[in-house]
A and B are shown apart, each in its own frame.
Chain A
């Protein structure tokens, strides 16, 4: 089934099986392996991407429903070598161990800060509640999102681009 997707600002033509989820198209057809497979049922958050501004589980989303929508993956958050403030903050707080869940967490956090520039801690926990981490970096990740919110507030008038 031929489709044209808009991924990280670029139009990409793909020809996946009709029932394929967005996740397998990203990973297997477009080589965007930064979005991870975790459970296949939308319960762990490892595969989150931003679709039209919302963080969604790409393992559950049929790819045919994503044509004509703006898809941003972890690879599309940075602007060239300039990282998104959430990415910078995760490095600064060393908010990772194995890093397998990190892409999904950063996607959730970026989507949160795009709609709420100053979330309180409860809002951060709620927004990231779908992102499971087994290594246990929740505390650091919360601090990283708070740090990113602070950085973005300072950069008044220049909200980070979602993608190039």
Chain B
């Protein structure tokens, strides 16, 4: 790693840091600024962080998997520490004092209260450069100024004043607006486009039919949409090509069937989860300016370099001539791994020879953007006479969980994420079946982990009750991981798990280990006679290793829980023959202010001796099971199908004849 790719000391002594990761509201710009400020011993306000600009940052594969801090914290800290040491070396020559006597303070270097020199003076003649040693020493914890301090987001003032610029707010000179004509169902190709009427409409600049893209460029958005609607198009629908189911054995212990057959108690259950929408509040948008010699792309994207290559390919430019400048983006929770809207804007811009903004409508966003696939999870377990799990069989049926399409090399870590339970079980067989779907599928928040953990943690709860054991004690007896045990015990403690609650209220427990982050939750719900579930309170203890910004972690985990509660109680993307039927907030409701729990208490108790791990996704992962287990505790209804609608709860609560 070269220092100059990561850290630059500016002529005014401020610091610029570079990373290929992207800010979607996770707070990584803030956390990165804290890390760099800490090692360079400057106030956080003196650090500017450039994220994802392909002309300025080192290559990065993408922002997903809650990996930003885990991957980037070590690199940025090492680079900043090396920059500090390099500055001290220069200061030593400048001041004529041995480096060992010098120390940093607020962007200056000196010997105690004696003569000091500023960072700005030390880079006046030559910028800092050089290879960063892998073993560069970091500042000891007693010298930390920023790490571990709660900090509001560095973008906060721009956000609350409306100054923050999102992709759809970029207004280059001569900006035109684009609208796309959509096929009746996914994959349709236009065989004939009659644009006579559209071309004559007010404001129309160009009608474009290029490959799979048919669209209109006009001076105003209303004009572009009206003209796109006026196009007469013959569509050819693709012949359905049934793809094959991929089967991936994720754990296969010999003797699992025999262990099940000889178990003292066996139970089986099937859990289902529907397809759900990313449901970003801001529909996808991009501004692209294609010129003969290159292109500039202003967009929200999880993969700036992947997007650069996709846009370059779509308009026939060398990828080096395309610059992706990521903008503030509505949270898309993985959906923006797909380059779609930017490619559309690029193709329209190429033909119109103007910068073009394409912003999808709400209906387009629901109908054509990729979504989380559905899952059917079949599980069987056997317990011995003492109540220990001795055998576990788990079949996960789902679809591809990435925008990239089926890839057997990554199926286990994507569609199979968290399918193997975090418990000690002597014999287990876990098999993943990745089946075809007519829907576009997304890299949605936590990929398959939320689905798998719903099934696993619901079923563990069922096993505990079936064997007359306390659900927490049952989990603890099957867990040897001290960090997992600690978050479980802590959340039970702070929530009063197990205490008596009023009628129709219940506590539900669930936990996960997600990409190195430990999470345990207790949900408190109330179930009305109608079957309606209200989440009253949620407690969560999270251990993500070394914590950079405790309030940033809390915010992410709270939000994950809130979003996941919405998935659990409300959300289902309905579709028929590959066409999405739920294309508005009416038909695809999400949680509102009225649905928000009275409190979501997140305790951030990171093991500061362990490396930093992610928090963007893990908070959302155990919540569906915590809620379902709470519903069971409240009213005896075991609901195995998400969403937990009043009808399903009522039905499950009926005594079996």
A14 to chain B, nearest CB (A): 12
Assess whether B594 is in contact with A126, with CB atoms less than 8 Å apart: yes
C-alpha gap A25/B593 in the complex (Å): 29
Q: Is the CB of A46 within 8 A of B162?
A: no
B331 within 8 A of A: yes
- Which A residues touch B171, using CB under 8 A? 31, 33
A74→B159 CA distance, assembly (Å)? 10
Q: Find out whether the CB atom of B330 lies under 8 angstroms from the CB atom of A100.
A: yes
Whether, in the assembled complex, B504 has its beta carbon less than 8 Å from a beta carbon of chain A, the answer is no
B446: Cβ under 8 A from any A Cβ? no
Given A40-B362, A74-B162, A91-B157: A139 touches B586 (CB 8 Å cut-off): no
A94/B555 contact (C-beta < 8 A), A24-B222, A74-B162, A139-B562 known: yes
* Cross-chain contact B592 with A132 (CB below 8 angstroms): yes
Inter-chain CA distance A124–B596, complex, in Å, is 12
* A2 vs chain B, min Cβ distance (A): 16
Q: Is the CB of B585 within 8 A of A132?
A: yes
Tell me, yes or no, whether B283 is within 8 Å of chain A by CB: yes
Interface 1/0 per residue, B445-487 and A, CB below 8 Å: 0000000000000000000000000000000000000000000
Q: Which of A27-66 contact B (CB under 8 A)?
A: 27-28, 31-41, 43-44, 46
Q: How far is the CB of B618 from chain A (nearest CB, A)?
A: 14
26 examples of A-B residue contacts, CB within 8 angstroms: A27-B169, A33-B171, A36-B166, A38-B281, A41-B362, A43-B362, A74-B161, A75-B162, A75-B163, A83-B160, A83-B161, A97-B26, A98-B25, A98-B331, A102-B160, A124-B593, A129-B594, A133-B281, A134-B280, A134-B331, A134-B333, A135-B563, A136-B559, A136-B591, A140-B555, A141-B593
Q: CB within 8 A of A91: which of B156, B163, B220, B561?
A: B156
Residues on A with beta carbons closer than 8 Å to the beta carbon of B566: 136
Given contacts A17-B220, A135-B559, contact A37 B164 (CB under 8 A): no
B331 and A97 form a contact (CB under 8 A): yes
Interface residues of A in 1-26 (CB under 8 A from B): 17, 19-20, 24
Complex contact B555–A97 (CB within 8 A): yes
Inter-chain CA distance A98–B335, complex, in Å, is 14
Residue of A nearest to B556 (CB): A97
A96 to B551, CA, bound (A): 12
Chain B residues with Cβ below 8 Å from A128 are 593
A83-B160, A83-B161, A96-B153 in contact; A135/B590 too (CB < 8 A)? no
Q: Is the CB of B599 within 8 A of A99?
A: no
Task: Check: A146 CB closer than 8 A to any chain B CB.
Answer: no
Q: Given the complex, which residues of A lie within 8 Å of B562, measured CB to CB?
A: 136-139
Are A99 and B283 also in contact (CB < 8 A) when A19-B222, A28-B220 are? Answer: no
Instruction: Give 1 or 0 for each of B554-569: 1 = CB within 8 Å of chain A CB.
Output: 0110111111001000
Q: How many Å lie between the Cα of A74 and that of B106 in the bound state?
A: 35
> Complex: how many Å from CA A129 to CA B359?
25
With both chains docked as a complex, state the minimum distance between the C-beta of A90 and any C-beta of chain B, in angstroms: 5
A132 in complex: contacting residue of B281, B552, B558, B559, CB < 8 Å: B281
Residue among B25, B166, B592, B593 making CB contact with A142, cutoff 8 Å: B593
Q: How many angstroms from the CA of A2 to the CA of B371 in the assembled complex? A: 43
Instruction: Please provide the 6 A-B residue pairs with the shortest distance between their CB atoms, ordered closest to farther.
Output: A34-B162, A136-B562, A98-B25, A97-B25, A74-B162, A136-B559
Q: Does B207 contact A (CB under 8 A)?
A: no
In the assembled complex, which residues on chain A have CB atoms less than 8 Å from the CB atom of B551?
Answer: 94
A24 to B566, CA, bound (A): 31
B597 interface contact, C-beta 8 A: yes
Q: Which residue of B lies closest to A31 (CB)?
A: B171
Task: Beyond A37-B282, A124-B593, A139-B597, list 18 extra A-B contacts (CB 8 Å).
Answer: A24-B222, A28-B221, A37-B359, A75-B161, A75-B162, A83-B161, A90-B159, A96-B159, A97-B24, A97-B331, A100-B280, A100-B331, A128-B593, A131-B593, A132-B590, A134-B333, A136-B558, A136-B560
Q: In angstroms, how far is the closest chain A Cβ from the Cβ of B474?
A: 30
If over half of B's interface residues share one DSSP class (helix, strand or loop), that class is named, otherwise mixed; here it is loop
Nearest-Cβ distance from residue B359 to partner chain A, whole angstroms? 6
B555 touches A98 (CB 8 A): no
Q: Which residues of A contact B159 (CB under 8 A)?
A: 90, 96, 99, 102
**CA–CA, A46 and B561, complex, Å:** 22
Interface extent on B, as a size class? 35 or more
**What is the CB-to-nearest-CB distance from A47 to chain B, in angstroms, rounded to a whole number?**
11
**Docked complex Cα distance between A33 and B25 (Å):** 19
Give A contacts to B, CB under 8 Å: 17, 19-20, 24, 27-28, 31-41, 43-44, 46, 73-75, 77-78, 83, 87, 90-92, 94, 96-103, 106, 124-126, 128-142
Given A37-B282, A43-B584, A138-B562, are A97 and B27 also a contact pair (CB < 8 Å)? Answer: yes
Partner of A38, one of B24, B155, B283, B563: B283
Q: Which of A37, A39, A83, A92 contacts B585 (CB 8 A)?
A: A39
Residues of chain B within 8 A of A129, CB atoms compared:
592-594
**B209: min CB distance to chain A, Å:** 26
Q: In the complex, what residues of A have CB within 8 A of residue B590's CB? A: 132, 134
Q: Is the CB of B26 within 8 A of A99?
A: no
Question: Per-residue 0/1 for B282-311: is the Cβ within 8 Å of any A Cβ (1 yes, 0 no)?
Answer: 110000000000000000000000000000
Complex contacts, A78 vs chain B, CB 8 Å: 161
Question: Complex Cα distance A83/B163, Å?
Answer: 13
| Binary contact track B115-159/A, C-beta < 8 Å → 1, others 0 | 000000000000000000000000000000000000011011101
Closest chain-B Cβ to A101's Cβ sits at a distance in Å of 5
A20, A90, A133 — which one has the most chain B CB atoms within 10 A of its CB?
A: A133
A94–chain B nearest beta-carbon distance, Å: 5
A139/B599 in contact, CB under 8 A: yes
Which single residue of chain B is at the shortest CB-CB distance from A88? B160
Interchain CB contact under 8 A, A87 and B160: yes
Contact B25 A135 (CB under 8 A): yes
Nearest residue (CB) in B for A84 is B160
Partner of B160 from A91, A124, A126, A134 at Cβ < 8 Å: A91
Inter-chain contacts of A100 with B (CB < 8 A): 166, 280-282, 329-331
| Given A44-B585, A125-B596; A73-B156 close (CB under 8 Å) | no
Most chain B beta-carbon neighbours within 10 Å: one of A40, A92, A99: A99
**B window 252-289: CB within 8 A of A:** 279-283
> Contacts A46-B282, A99-B328, A132-B281 hold; do A39 and B162 have CB atoms under 8 A apart?
no
In the bound complex, CA of A134 to CA of B620 (Å): 12
B556: A residues at CB distance < 8 A:
97
B600 at the interface (CB under 8 A from A): yes
Instruction: Report yes or no: A17 in contact with B222, Cβ–Cβ below 8 A.
Output: yes
A130 and B594 alpha carbons, distance in the complex (Å): 10
B160 nearest CB neighbor, chain A only: A87
Residue of B nearest to A73 (CB): B162
Residues of A within 8 A of B330 (CB): 98, 100, 134
Write the B153-187 contact mask toward A (1 if CB under 8 angstroms, else 0): 10111011111111011010000000000000000
- Known contacts A36-B166, A103-B162: does B594 contact A125 (CB below 8 Å)? yes
- The docked-state distance in angstroms from the alpha carbon of A97 to that of B171 is 24
Give A86 to B333 CA distance when docked, in angstroms.
Answer: 27
Chain B residue numbers with a CB within 8 Å of A99 are 25, 155, 159, 164, 328
Task: Say whether B86 faces chain A, with CB atoms less than 8 Å apart.
Answer: no
Q: Does B14 reach chain A (CB closer than 8 Å)?
A: no
Known: A94-B156, A134-B563, A139-B562. A37 touches B168 (CB 8 A): yes
Nearest Cβ distance between residue A147 and chain B, in whole angstroms? 13
B596–A138 CB distance below 8 A: yes
Residues of A within 8 A of B582 (CB): none
